[in-house]
Amino acid sequence: MDTHEFREVGHRMVDLLSEYLEHIEERPLFADVEPAKLNKLFAEPLPQNPSSSDEVLQQIQEKLLPYCTHVGHPGYFGLITPSPNLMGILADFICSALNQNVGAYTIGPSAVAMERRTVQWLAELVGYGEQAGGNLTSGGTMANFIGLKLARDYASKDRAQHDGIRDRWAVYTSEERHVSVDKAVDAVGVGRAWLRALPTDDEFRVRIDALETAIAEDKRDGVQPMCIVGMFGTTNTGAVDSLPDLRRIADREGMWLHADAAYGGGMLVSHEWPMGNKGLELADSVTMDPHKWFYAPLDAGAVLVKDERRLTLSFGMKPAYLTDQMDRTNERYQYYVHGFEQSRRFRSLKVWMSFKRYGAREIGNWIDANIRHAQRLHRLVEGHPDFEAANRPAMSAICIRYRGDDMDESESKQLHAEVASRVERSGRFWISTTEMKGRTWFRINPVNFRTRPEHMDELFALLRRECELAVQAKKAANRRMA
């Protein structure tokens, strides 16, 4: 492919994607297709000979696009994967063309400078000062892993990275944590058995009394408190733990405080519901995902650290083959020295370009609209006798459940799963289910700038209808068995 063909095919691809995005709401959100069919579509040996660009694009249109989950569809309310903004999409195109490796300064000087500034923007949103730092990651899972490694090294006075963990340490968090916290506790060598998943209150915030009890019991048994992971926007309900209380306890016990704001970080640019006063700046490290509620395309997570020197102390290795002999003044920032990854995608470009094109003010407007969508659904649920909400939405996440027909929990779980499947097959919406405090819920989270208020009305009407149909089907089946 020469540059002439590249230009011609590139124009066609932009036209194709523009048409796709312009009419995305007309597409079935989720393809009702069996995995076997998809596997058959792609069942071919490794190509040995070239194909024309026309043939490749044709196969994309026939095999890929019809069977995607269209997360940019205004009815996508499932996992926290927002509609990517258009400037961010173009940024990824540029990113792939330039192919800068931000891990080392010499492979991307301007890209390194851009990421440094983008990280500073995010750190300023948190409330951190000039000593803060961080880096962009693949997402919240990697950011939480780095946060837990920083906690382990801090608690062990930087011995664990050399000697391993030789004592028993414990990590404390909410039962509403993201599963990446469990993975991180495992990966840094603490072990999942030493993760204390603590109960929450009626608003799904970690109970401080339960935390105090767990710490006291561990200390009595010779287990050393290592880290508290506070939640700043849980996946299920957007709950925010009391970070000032967690900070007080962490200081008393000499623990690291990490805050998971992968989802809730977007609230820092909200106009109507600002959360800059919730104590996020008190955490030693913070997870934030621009590819969630800042509407950047995947992947773009971030770990932010109040004292950037902790990153260097945890990761500061300089093998001879990567040493920059030209850096005589120590001004060439090497991300591989201050983070886990060496080869690093140029993730900051789409975040930087998104903020430059739309501004934090407009992104905040999109976030506020999503919160109003959740609150609209909450009002609809409150007005219906057969439904209930877990709580009033703190952010855009809302959990609701059908409570009619006097079902036990086993029956309720089956009904919610069946109705979620029916909603998926409708092609208009995508929601998930979850479990909290022993009960099953529909989990609905609008994080999409294309969603409109009428979508919430339509979704609730569909849920009412499908729940009633599922109950009727169950009763008919029981009659046949009688």
What pLDDT, on the 0 to 100 scale, is given for residue 465?
Answer: 96
Structure-model confidence comparison of residues 478 and 58, the more confident one: 58
DSSP 129-197: -TT-EEEEESSHHHHHHHHHHHHHHHHTTT-HHHH---S-EEEEEETT--HHHHHHHHHTTS-GGGEEE
Q: What is the mean pLDDT of residues 331-359?
A: 93
How far is Cα 76 from Cα 432, in angstroms, rounded to an integer? 10
Query: Is 80 exceeded by the pLDDT of residue 324?
Result: no
Residue 282: count of CB within 10 angstroms of its CB: 21
pLDDT tens per residue across span 132-141: 999 999 999 9
What pLDDT, on the 0 to 100 scale, is given for residue 401?
Answer: 97
| Domain-wise residue ranges, the chain | 3-68, 93-356, 360-481
Query: Is 80 exceeded by the pLDDT of residue 318?
Result: no
What pLDDT, on the 0 to 100 scale, is given for residue 473?
Answer: 84
**Backbone CA torsion sign across 199, 202, 207, 210:** negative
CATH class label, 360-481: alpha beta
pLDDT-derived band at 475 (thresholds 50, 70, 90) equals confident
- For 93-356, CATH gives 3.40.640.10
* DSSP3 helix / strand / coil % (the chain, rounded to 5): 50, 15, 35
Which pair of tokens denotes residue 185?
Answer: 């506790």
What pLDDT, on the 0 to 100 scale, is given for residue 404?
Answer: 82
**DSSP code for 258:** E
pLDDT tens per residue across span 265-316: 999 999 999 998 999 999 999 999 999 999 999 999 999 999 999 999 999 8
Query: Is 80 exceeded by the pLDDT of residue 323?
Result: no
Query: Is 70 exceeded by the pLDDT of residue 320?
Result: no
**DSSP code for 275:** -
Query: Is 70 exceeded by the pLDDT of residue 205?
Result: yes
pLDDT-derived band at 45 (thresholds 50, 70, 90) equals very high
Query: Is 80 exceeded by the pLDDT of residue 234?
Result: yes
User: Rounded mean pLDDT of the chain?
Assistant: 94
What pLDDT, on the 0 to 100 scale, is given for residue 36?
Answer: 96
Q: Give the architecture-level CATH label for domain 3-68.
A: Up-down Bundle (1.20)
Residue found by looking up tokens 């140029």 in the block: 346
Tell me the pTM: 0.94
Are 112 and 327 spatial neighbours (Cβ–Cβ below 8 Å)? no
Query: Which of 400, 450, 445 has the alpha carbon at shortest distance from 235?
Result: 445
Which pair of tokens denotes residue 295?
Answer: 């509407």
Query: Is 90 exceeded by the pLDDT of residue 328?
Result: no
Give how far Cα 72 sits from Cα of 16, 248, 373, 448, Å.
15, 41, 16, 7
Three-class SS of residue 433? strand
369 contact partners, CB below 8 Å, separation of at least 6: 449, 451
Phi first, then psi, for residue 139 (nearest 5°) are 165, -170
